[in-house]
Amino acid sequence: MAQPQGRSILAMIIRNFLNSLKPRQFRGTLIGSDYFGNKYYEIPSNPSVGKRRANRWFDPPQKEDFMQEMPAEWEAWLRGRRKEPPTEEEVMKNLAIMQMKKKNAIEVDAKAGKMTPMTKGIETFPRRHDYETVPGKRN
């Protein structure tokens, strides 16, 4: 009598046990680094041994410092929100934008004493008298 084709529980248990004995990768591959000095590593996924997701981590330059800084692109890669690691050009472009925003914020803060005071109404958004709320009409 022929044995039915399909999954055998005993065969699956033996196959999983043998796969668990295969050597695994414990050291990650260096993927990149950022301007803070963090180094990013990855061990790719291997569905044949039951590992569906890649392991990703970073090594900070100072291990004892708990206030780690990390670019948003690298954090998205670590958390699995993006498949490919960020390029150096992408990280540097966003760093330049971040520095420009900080500089503009300092300029606005310095100019804050010279601006007209804001009036708050029922709305939660502040209104300034020297700006138009409706295009073409002055308040």
Strand runs (DSSP E) across 26-67, as ranges? Answer: 29-33, 39-43, 55-59
Helical spans, DSSP H, in 86-137: 88-111
Beta-carbon count within 10 A of 73 CB: 19
pLDDT digits (tens, 9 = 90+) for 36-93: 899 999 988 877 766 788 889 999 988 887 778 889 999 999 999 999 999 999 999 9
For residue 35, the Cα-to-chain-centroid distance in whole angstroms is 15
Residue 41 lies in a domain: yes
pLDDT digits (tens, 9 = 90+) for 52-66: 888 899 999 888 877
C-beta separation of 85 from 77 below 8 A: yes
Taking alpha carbons only, the member of 92, 56, 62 closest to residue 75 is 56
Residue 5 lies in a domain: no
Residue 53 lies in a domain: yes
Residue 122 lies in a domain: no
Q: State yes or no: pLDDT of 138 exceeds 70.
A: no
What's the chain's average pLDDT? 81
- Tokens 């150096």 map to which residue? 88
Residue 91 lies in a domain: yes
Identify the domain containing residue 106 by its residue range.
27-112
| CA dihedral over 105, 110, 116, 121, signed as positive or negative | positive
For residue 85, the Cα-to-chain-centroid distance in whole angstroms is 10
Residue 8 lies in a domain: no
For the entire predicted model, the pTM comes to 0.58
Rounded to 5 degrees, what angle do the CA atoms 9, 10, 15 make? 100
Q: How confident is the model at residue 115 (pLDDT cuts 50, 70, 90)?
A: low
Q: How confident is the model at residue 4 (pLDDT cuts 50, 70, 90)?
A: low
Cα separation, 58 vs 31, whole angstroms: 10
Type of residue found at 87: T
